[in-house]
Amino acid sequence: MATTTMPETEMKRESKPSVKYVYFFGGGKAEGNGKMKDDHGGKGAGLAEMTNAGLPVPPGFTIQTEACREYMRQNTVSREVDQQMEEALAKLEQLQGQKLGQGENPLLVSVRSGAKFSMPGMMDTILNLGLNDKSVQALAARSKNERFAADSYRRLIQMFGNVVLEIPKSAFDEVFDAKKKQKKQKKGETETAE
């Protein structure tokens, strides 16, 4: 049996088709619709549908469920997913005229999970992503409310610590409660039974 080898120039190189992992919504248009619950999850499909219907939805992007499945299989995020997220973030920053965690009016985002069907035990929301030691000062100046800015930053740290780093919520509560008690004692107040 004779075999022949094709020259490399004649061989068709198989390339993996590009997968769309990130879908943007904003400016009255969405890359997706309400029927895409399998890919977008319930929240993402709902946001796309409301955007397409002309409702005033704050802009953002949905990372489709295949990115999560890939992460679970490979224990890492692919470069393609990272690149699509970076492109969507740049588009969001341009549309909003803000930079994530930077400037006098920093862009802050929330991260929400959203399976096709809502289930107990799903990942909690992370609010105020983009706050850092510098941007919290900008938020305080812009809002003219240092307490609001500090509480927003505390909430980010607490949510991120719990959801991403799996630090129990009770560990944060203990620190926060001790600080509140310490502050009351400094003011000469007494603790009540509450």
Number of domains in the chain: 2
116 plus 84 within the same structural domain: no
Question: Would you state the pLDDT for residue 74?
Answer: 93
pLDDT at 52: 97
- Domain of residue 47 covers 18-97
Q: Are residues 163 and 188 part of one domain?
A: yes
**Long-range Cβ pairs for the range 155-161 (8 Å, 24+):** 155/127, 155/128, 156/126, 156/127, 156/128, 156/129, 156/131, 159/124, 159/125, 159/126, 159/127, 160/126, 160/129
Could you tell me if 89 and 127 lie in one domain?
Answer: no
How far is residue 183's CA from residue 34's CA, in Å, rounded to a whole number? 49
Q: What's the pLDDT score for residue 11?
A: 46
Q: In angstroms, rounded to a whole number, what is the distance separating the alpha carbons of residues 70 and 76?
A: 8
What is the per-residue pLDDT for 98?
97
φ and ψ at residue 16, rounded to 5 degrees: -70, 125
Alpha-helical segments (H) within the chain: 37-52, 65-74, 79-96, 135-143, 146-163, 169-186
Cβ within 8 Å of residue 135, ≥6 positions away: 101, 102, 103, 106, 108
Which pLDDT score is estimated for 124? 84
Does 93 reside within a domain? yes
Helix 169-186 to helix 146-163 angle, to the nearest 10 degrees? 150
Length of the chain: 194
Q: What is the pLDDT along the chain (194 residues), one digit of tens a residue?
A: 454 554 555 444 445 558 999 999 999 999 999 999 999 989 999 999 999 999 999 999 999 989 988 999 999 999 999 999 999 999 999 999 999 999 999 999 999 888 777 666 667 889 999 999 999 999 999 999 999 999 999 999 999 999 999 999 999 999 989 988 888 866 655 444 33
**What CATH number should be reported for the domain holding residue 84?**
3.30.1490.20
46 and 104 part of one domain: no
Distance of CA 154 to the CA centre of its chain: 17
Q: Do 114 and 158 sit in the same domain of this protein?
A: yes
Q: Are strands 109-111 and 22-26 parallel, antiparallel or unpaired?
A: unpaired
Apex 44 CA angle, 169 and 159, nearest 5 = 15
What predicted TM-score, i.e. pTM, was given to this entire model? Answer: 0.80
Residue 77 inside a domain? The answer is yes
Q: What does the alpha-carbon distance between residue 154 and residue 150 come to, in Å, rounded to a whole number?
A: 6
